[in-house]
Amino acid sequence: MLTIRQGKSEKDRLCYSVAPNQHYFWTACRVMNQGFTQSINSLHSWSGLLSGWVLFAVFLTGTLTVFDNEITAWMQPELQEVTSALMRERAPDPGYRVRPAMLAVRQPGEGSITDLPVLKVKWQENRTFSGQTIDPLTGQLVTYRDTQGGDFFYHFHYELLLGQPGAWIVGASGVAMLVALFTGLVIHRRIFKDFFSFRSQSFPYRAWLDTHNITGVLATPFHLMITFTGLVVLWSIYLSAGLPISSQEDSGMAPVQHAFDVQDMTSDRAAPVLVGLADGLTGDRPPAQSPVGETSQSLLFDLHFAQFGSAAIRWVYFILGLTSSIMIATSLLSWTTKRRRYDMSRPRAMHTRLMESLNVAAVAGLLVAIGAFLWANRLLPLPLPGRASWEVRCFFLAWGFCLMHSLLRGGNTFAWKRQLSVAALLLGSLPLLNAFTTKSHLLVSVPRGQWAVAGVDLTALAAGVLLGWMVRRLGQDSPEQSHRQVSSAISPDVESEQL
């Protein structure tokens, strides 16, 4: 006689009482489903972890690249002084607008062009390009500080200043980002419920996962779009051109007698020739049609770099880029926080300490390095040889010191508080430093409408205030308090959640 075994659900008891084979079938299905979910969860975790440090730097510098011309204008205040003088000189003329001389006609506010009303003269001598900047009012040469400006963040964004190997690293991290995004969508079963769930009372432990879920859901289309278009933009580096390599030898020099043919071409033999297409009935020229591949790549390029619309579009990209950076940073913190659960009753494992130290250096250390880069622009002497290179050196020196500090502190809360405090101090006091070292501070730039300069000061001030608030929310890193917060922040059901 068949015995009915108590199962976890009515369906289990019914299947087992009617047909034991069906019971085994449903049990196997549940096991396979759990195995698939765990596999996807592991793939999501490791793809995000191994590329998270690179991705955070790429996304944050890419976010700054949205306003790279404005950053360059801020880092060259001497040109802004010329702008102010020119505005005062031409103020009586109501029809005059301070606009740069461009070959292409652009409407005010279109594109990402920064207004620099100076005359830039460039020439080539002995196969070397040189240039000078001239004040349009006085005709005198304008001496301004040598800096890479916003171009530094642009090149770091797509090649990590390593050339083609750096582009390959960024590309591999982009592929890992796509894997993490798709697997996150698969395993995130409570996507809408978790979107409205933020438990700030358990900050900074349990709140990391809630912040990761919210930022991931909020800007999922942007995450997918910006990652995919970033890979397409650099397709020529990742995929070689499909052209056969010529095996023929060099053709050599052209015959000398052709030179006499050119000499005999007098003016009466010259004739203008126009080649084009026109409608046979109306005579209208059809619109030019570019190849589909070229048009698609141009569209994706403009979509990635926000080369369309007005300044409002670029601010939308800037905010969404910060959202992506926060999502990546909180994913790193969620992973190490989860691992702390297994180290509560014993000293932290070496790999956990290493991961936490790298998290501090990758997130807080990068913020310190950006602040040091901007401070170096104001404090380094103007006639310093290789001044632009020294600004970059200050960036990496500050980042290296943060890495050493986090390794010595083991990536604990003390390291987070110290490095975030330094970043808040550097960025929050940047407008004050600008006021002491230049004549283009907020009290001058805002009344004159120089928003390229004022925007950098105001954004840095807002970043400093936000980082200062985060420092205040971080608790002391005593072992007892850390264990209590971790145990209350990480419940057993977190094992099945997105990390």
154 pLDDT band, cuts 50/70/90, is: very high
For the segment 427-453, the average pLDDT, to the nearest whole number, is: 88
Distance, in Å, from the CA atom of 15 to the CA atom of 4, rounded to the nearest integer, reads: 10
Highest mean pLDDT (candidates 38-42, 380-384, 445-449):
380-384
- To which residue do tokens 């990758």 refer? 362
Q: Nearest 5°: phi and psi at 120?
A: -105, 120
Other C-beta atoms closer than 10 Å to the C-beta of 54 total 20
pLDDT over threshold 80, residue 90: no
Q: Is 260 left (phi over 0), alpha (psi -120 to 50) or beta?
A: alpha
Helices 430-437 and 366-379 cross at an angle (nearest 10°) of: 10
3-state secondary structure labels for all residues of the chain? CCCCCCCCCHHHHHHHHHCHHHHHHHHHHHHHHHHHHHHHHHHHHHHHHHHHHHHHHHHHHHHHHCCHHHHHHHCCHHHHHHHHHHHHHCCCCCCCCCCCCCCCCCCCCCCCCCCCCCEEEEEEECCEEEEEEECCCCCCECCCCCCCCHHHHHHHHHHCCCCHHHHHHHHHHHHHHHHHHHHHHHHCCCHHHHHCCCCHHHCCCHHHHHHHHHHHHHCHHHHHHHHHHHHHHCHHHHCCCCCCCCCCCCCCCCCCCHHHHHHCCCHHHCCCCCCCCCCCCCCCCCCCCCCHHHHHHHHHHHHHHCCCCCHHHHHHHHHHHHHHHHHHHHHHHHHHHHHHHHHCCCCCCHHHHHHHHHHHHHHHHHHHHHHHHHHHHHHCCCCCCCHHHHHHHHHHHHHHHHHHHHHHHCCCHHHHHHHHHHHHHHHHCHHHHHHHHCCCCHHHHCCCCCHHHHHHHHHHHHHHHHHHHHHHHCCCCCHHHHHHHHHHHCCHHHHHCCC
CA distances to 6, 15, 24, 27, 48 from 3, in Å:
10, 12, 15, 18, 48
Q: Nearest 5°: phi and psi at 125?
A: -140, 125
Which is more confident, 29 or 168?
168
For the segment 56-81, the average pLDDT, to the nearest whole number, is: 89
In the chain, the percentage of residues whose pLDDT exceeds 70 is 60
Q: Which of 35, 22, 33, 36 is nearest to 11 (CA)?
A: 22
For residue 412, what pLDDT is reported? 81
Helices 20-65 and 10-18 cross at an angle (nearest 10°) of: 140
For residue 314, what pLDDT is reported? 92
Burial of 438 (0-12, 13-18, 19+ CB in 10 A): middle
Q: Nearest 5°: phi and psi at 32?
A: -65, -40
For residue 272, what pLDDT is reported? 64
Residue 238: partners with Cβ closer than 8 Å, 6 or more residues away: 168, 171, 231
Which is more confident, 366 or 34?
366
For the segment 424-429, the average pLDDT, to the nearest whole number, is: 96
For the segment 325-352, the average pLDDT, to the nearest whole number, is: 75
For residue 3, what pLDDT is reported? 43
For the segment 336-364, the average pLDDT, to the nearest whole number, is: 77
For residue 110, what pLDDT is reported? 42
CA atoms within 13 A of residue 39's CA, in its CB half-sphere = 6
Domain boundaries, the chain: 32-76+146-237+295-496
What are the tokens at 91? 């103020």
Poorest-pLDDT segment among 32-46, 147-161, 392-406: 32-46
What are the tokens at 342? 């297994």
Burial of 363 (0-12, 13-18, 19+ CB in 10 A): buried
pLDDT over threshold 80, residue 131: no
* pLDDT tens-digit series, residues 175-217: 999 998 888 888 776 666 655 565 555 555 566 777 777 888 8
Highest mean pLDDT (candidates 7-11, 81-85, 247-251, 417-421):
417-421
Residue type, 251: S
Which is more confident, 76 or 423?
423
pLDDT over threshold 90, residue 139: no
pLDDT over threshold 60, residue 491: no
What are the tokens at 466? 């936000």
For residue 241, what pLDDT is reported? 55
Q: Are the C-beta atoms of residues 180 and 48 closer than 8 Å to each other?
A: yes
The rounded Cα 179 to chain-centroid distance in angstroms is: 18
Burial of 226 (0-12, 13-18, 19+ CB in 10 A): buried
Q: Average pLDDT over the chain, rounded to whole?
A: 75
* pLDDT tens-digit series, residues 448-481: 878 888 999 999 999 999 999 888 877 544 444 4
* pLDDT tens-digit series, residues 278-332: 666 676 776 666 777 778 878 888 899 888 878 889 999 999 999 999 999 988 8
For the segment 237-253, the average pLDDT, to the nearest whole number, is: 62
For residue 226, what pLDDT is reported? 94
CA distances to 74, 241, 292, 315, 391 from 431, in Å:
11, 48, 47, 20, 18
pLDDT over threshold 50, residue 67: yes
Which residues sit opposite 419 in a β-bridge?
none
* pLDDT tens-digit series, residues 157-179: 999 999 889 999 999 999 999 99
Q: Which of 374, 390, 367, 376 is nearest to 431 (CA)?
A: 374
